[in-house]
Amino acid sequence: MNITFIFFIGLFIAFVGVIPPGLLNMTAAKISLKEGHVRGIVFSIGVCAIVVAQTYIAAIFARYLSNHPEVIDVLQRVAFVIFVLITVYFLFIAKSTPKQQINPKIRSKHSRFFQGMLMSAINVFPIPYQAYMTITLASFGWLNFEQISIISYVAGAATGTFVMLYMYIFFFDKIKSRSFTSQKNMNYIIGGITGIISIVTLVNIIKEL
């Protein structure tokens, strides 16, 4: 398996996962606007340090599940139902809500790094997300669970996360008033992403019947 290909798969999947506005990317952008780009980048590096650990744990968990296909079958069906519900919620139910204003206090660069680590550690969503995605990639033969492949995928995931945070930091001030960053349109984007994942999951389930 080409480790460069695996690296870019990890980059893309993590990149997509961080697109929707959330606490981490919005905080990085706010810190950058109020304290300068350097502090926003330091915060993002702290976030990515934890992403490395989370993605590695997810890959190891996925490797365990790959040796227990009966568990994967159950999880795929549960995941399909969850993603369908999330898709329906964001496309048809979720309403626009006022964006929460984040007013970070001035802190040192080191404290921003550890703040990024802490906030990323609290956000445990990447673990089940990456575990599911690595299992899906493995089912297509795009990823194996050899150590070098896992390391390459983890490096790609950390890079993808940093790239998206970087984009929020440097372009947030220019795009924040654009219509595609409205809560309503972001709901559609999230719903579209989970809808695609739902379709991929359904295809895998049908193939295994």
Q: What is the pLDDT of residues 37-80, one digit of tens each?
A: 888 899 999 999 999 999 999 888 888 877 776 666 676 677 77
Tokens linked to 29: 């952008």
- Candidates 32, 186, 190; CA nearest to 125 is 190
**Residue 100 pLDDT more than 70?**
no
Q: Is 92 exposed, middle or buried (0-12, 13-18, 19+ CB in 10 A)?
A: exposed
The pLDDT value recorded for residue 185 is 62
**Residue 117 pLDDT more than 80?**
yes
Coil/strand/helix, residue 27: helix
- Euclidean distance between CA atoms 143 and 3, whole angstroms: 9
Residues 125, 9, 53, 68: is their CA dihedral positive or negative?
positive
**Residue 14 pLDDT more than 50?**
yes
**Residue 12 pLDDT more than 60?**
yes
From the CB of residue 110, how many other CB atoms can be counted at a distance below 10 Å? 10
**Residue 87 pLDDT more than 50?**
yes
Tokens linked to 80: 């399909």
pLDDT tens, 137-191? 887 888 888 889 999 999 999 999 999 998 888 877 665 555 444 556 656 766 7
pLDDT tens, 142-151? 888 888 999 9
* Predicted model pTM: 0.68
| Cβ contact 126:118 at 8 Å | no
Task: Find how far residue 145's CA is from the centre of its chain.
Answer: 20
**Average pLDDT score, the chain:** 78
